[in-house]
């Protein structure tokens, strides 16, 4: 019934004590104070524990509204799962209701608190107020200090809006107050009300500022820098250490359980009865098995995007709410593309030029970042941007082990349209030169070397322009 489920989101109560201007859930607008009860949880848990392997890694998160309003249930659920091994607990909170009892319980039971803090005092208070319109910044900072003093694990989520400061300024603000660096989030506007707070956002400028700030710290302490810039750390995971190919991990291993016992694919869909896939009494319906499609295979904008396998496409709920399979959020797309591209450049240079930093990064993920992963990421990132591959009626010959993709629009007029990342890796490794690559292509494709050498050099020069190669000696030898 629930044997594949390893990611559970509990929507444990409806109301919220804040009135955030951009709230996508609009929790403060809901009427009533409905909560998740112990009896509903017990009905789910009795079935779940019989079908799941207790040694599996399981992620459990608590949402609302504001979940800490129903903290008694959080205690109850965490305690019930105490016999399971390797469970990750997360409470997504606005941070205003944290007290000593809550902080100590979270510390004792390995529950992480994700606290929302939106920049400096002025910016945060303009966005996140309580029911009476009062500021919340000082209260949240005080509760973060409480977590720090007790050793309670916490993380910070900062939503970027049109009134936000630059990421570097926000990070400095937090560090000056000895607060952890945030994960920056670009929020999807879902109503006309929150739209005006979220747009416009200059994503290119935001990423450029974040990357520049990261580079300043990166050269001194690689581990600290990565931990201080969670967005870049996450990008490295997505590029090289993850097989996840949806925007948020939405798949058949994940469910969200609403306070009334109904079950949905994710927490954002809980107010859409048409998206209900079952309940805690009867389990999951067959409809569940037919719901999951990779957005990147359906969305025409995603299909042609070079980062589709890393990003995973837009939020499925956003597509449903707009009834538009081709919907994309432009600012978010730009944010992701710029972030991945800049991260990829940093990683490629480290891979070949700094063995110590490469080992340090691999150690953070407890894995070896293989050359093939670098190659795949580089090829995906660069190919669609390269003007030399934009030929009409493009055909592709993949020469596989030769490390070359040879594109031709007319077989009688052969053009070298793209030299893949594999060639670049071989260049930097010292296994090939630009001249050798051109000669190999000429031989394999039965083309005159003189007819293609300029195309090859231009392609390799493009990699230099992109920043993947730092020295021109790699290009022409």
Task: Mean pLDDT check: name the lowest of 77-91, 117-131, 402-416.
Answer: 402-416
Q: Is the pLDDT of residue 252 over 90?
A: no
Q: Is the pLDDT of residue 442 over 90?
A: no
Q: Is the pLDDT of residue 27 over 80?
A: no
Task: Mean pLDDT check: name the lowest of 4-13, 64-73, 397-406, 451-460.
Answer: 397-406
pLDDT tens digits for 333-352?
889 888 988 887 787 777 66
Mean residue pLDDT across the chain? 78
Q: Is the pLDDT of residue 68 over 90?
A: yes
SS (H, E, C) the chain: CCCCCCEEEEECECCCCECCCCCCCCHHHCCCCCECCHHHHHHHHHHHHHHCCCCCCEEEEEECCCHHHHHHHHHHHHHHHHHCCCEEEEEEECCCCCCHHHHHHHHHCCEEEEEECCCCHHHHHHHCEECCCCECHHHHHHHHHHHHHHCCCEEEEEEECCCCCCHHHHHHHHHHCCCCCEEEEECCCCCHHHHHHHCCCCHHHHHHHHHHHHHHHHCCCHHHHHHHCHHHHHHHHHHHCCCCCCCCCCCCCEEEECCCCEEECCHHHCCCHHHCCEECCCEECHHHHHCCCCHHHHCHHHHCCCCHHHHCCCCHHHHHHHCCCCCCCHHHHHHHHHHHHHHHHHHHHHHHHCHHHHHHHHHHHCCCCCHHHHHHHHHHHHHHHCHHHCCCCCEEEECHHHCCEEEECECCECCCCCCCHHHHHHHHHCCCCHHHHHHHHHHHCCCCHHHHHHHHHHHHHHHHHHCCCCCHHHCCC
Q: In what helix (H) or strand (E) does residue 341 lie, and over which residues does it extend?
A: helix 330-353
Give the residue, 218 or 281, on which the prediction is more confident.
281
Task: Mean pLDDT check: name the lowest of 185-199, 260-274, 307-321, 374-388.
Answer: 374-388
CB atoms within 10 A of CB 69: 19
pLDDT above 90 covers a percentage of the chain that reads: 34
Residue 457 is predicted with a pLDDT of: 67
Q: Sorting pLDDT into bands at 50, 70 and 90, what band is 203?
A: confident
What string of DSSP letters covers 167-189? HHHHHHHHHHTT-PPEEEEEPPP
Residue 378 is predicted with a pLDDT of: 58
Q: Sorting pLDDT into bands at 50, 70 and 90, what band is 250?
A: low
The full set of domain ranges for the chain reads 7-201+243-292, 386-474
Residue 408 is predicted with a pLDDT of: 42
Greatest mean pLDDT among 311-320, 363-372, 396-405 lies in 311-320
Query: What is the pTM assigned to this prediction?
Result: 0.80
Give the residue, 129 or 199, on which the prediction is more confident.
129
CA gap 204, 372 in Å, rounded: 28
Give the residue, 448 or 121, on which the prediction is more confident.
121
Give the residue, 374 or 439, on which the prediction is more confident.
439
Residue 337 is predicted with a pLDDT of: 86
Pick the CATH number of 7-201+243-292 from 3.20.20.70, 3.40.50.10490, 2.102.10.10, 3.40.50.410: 3.20.20.70
Residues facing residue 254 across a β-bridge: 7
Q: Sorting pLDDT into bands at 50, 70 and 90, what band is 50?
A: confident
Give the residue, 199 or 422, on which the prediction is more confident.
199
pLDDT tens digits for 317-329?
888 778 888 988 8
Q: Match 């969200």 to its residue by tokens.
A: 256
């Amino acid at each position: 019934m629930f044997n594949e489920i390893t990611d559970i989101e509990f929507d444990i109560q409806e109301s919220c004590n804040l009135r955030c201007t951009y709230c996508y859930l609009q929790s403060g607008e809901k009427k009533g104070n409905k909560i998740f009860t112990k009896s509903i949880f017990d009905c789910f848990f009795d079935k779940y524990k019989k079908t799941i392997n207790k040694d599996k890694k399981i992620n459990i998160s608590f949402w609302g509204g504001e979940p800490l309003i129903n903290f008694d249930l959080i205690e109850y659920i965490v305690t019930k799962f105490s016999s399971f091994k390797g469970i990750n607990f997360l409470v997504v909170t606005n941070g205003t209701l944290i007290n000593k009892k809550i902080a100590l319980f979270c510390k004792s039971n390995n529950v992480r608190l994700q606290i929302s803090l939106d920049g400096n005092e002025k910016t945060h208070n303009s966005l996140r107020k309580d029911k009476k319109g009062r500021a919340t910044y000082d209260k949240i900072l005080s509760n973060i200090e409480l977590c720090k003093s007790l050793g309670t694990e916490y993380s910070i989520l900062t939503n970027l809006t049109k009134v936000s400061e630059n990421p570097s300024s926000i990070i400095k603000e937090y560090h000056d107050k000895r607060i952890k660096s945030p994960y920056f989030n670009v929020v999807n506007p879902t109503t006309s009300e929150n739209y005006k707070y979220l747009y416009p956002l200059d994503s290119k400028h935001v990423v450029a500022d974040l990357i520049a700030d990261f580079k300043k710290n990166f050269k001194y302490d690689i581990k600290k820098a990565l931990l201080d810039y969670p967005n870049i750390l996450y990008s490295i995971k997505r590029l090289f250490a993850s097989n996840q190919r949806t925007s948020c991990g939405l798949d058949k291993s994940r469910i969200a359980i609403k306070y009334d016992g109904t079950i949905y694919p994710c927490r954002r869909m809980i107010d859409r009865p048409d998206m209900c896939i079952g309940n805690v009494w009867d389990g999951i319906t067959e409809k569940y098995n037919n719901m999951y499609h990779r957005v990147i295979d359906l969305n025409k904008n995603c299909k042609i995007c070079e980062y589709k396998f890393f990003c995973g496409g837009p939020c499925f709920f956003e597509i449903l709410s707009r009834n538009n399979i081709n919907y994309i959020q432009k600012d978010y797309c730009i944010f992701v593309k710029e972030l991945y591209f800049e991260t990829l450049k940093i990683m490629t240079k480290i891979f070949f030029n700094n063995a110590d930093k490469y080992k340090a990064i691999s150690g953070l993920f407890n894995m070896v970042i293989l050359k093939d992963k670098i190659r795949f990421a580089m090829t995906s990132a660069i190919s669609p941007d390269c003007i030399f591959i934009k030929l009409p009626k493009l055909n592709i010959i993949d020469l596989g082990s030769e490390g070359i993709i040879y594109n031709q629009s007319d077989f009688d007029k052969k053009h070298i349209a793209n030299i893949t990342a594999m060639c670049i890796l071989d260049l930097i490794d010292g296994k090939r030169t630009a001249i050798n690559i051109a000669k190999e292509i000429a031989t394999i494709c039965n083309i005159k070397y003189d007819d293609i050498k300029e195309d090859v050099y231009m392609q390799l020069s493009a990699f230099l322009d992109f920043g993947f190669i730092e020295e021109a000696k790699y290009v022409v030898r």
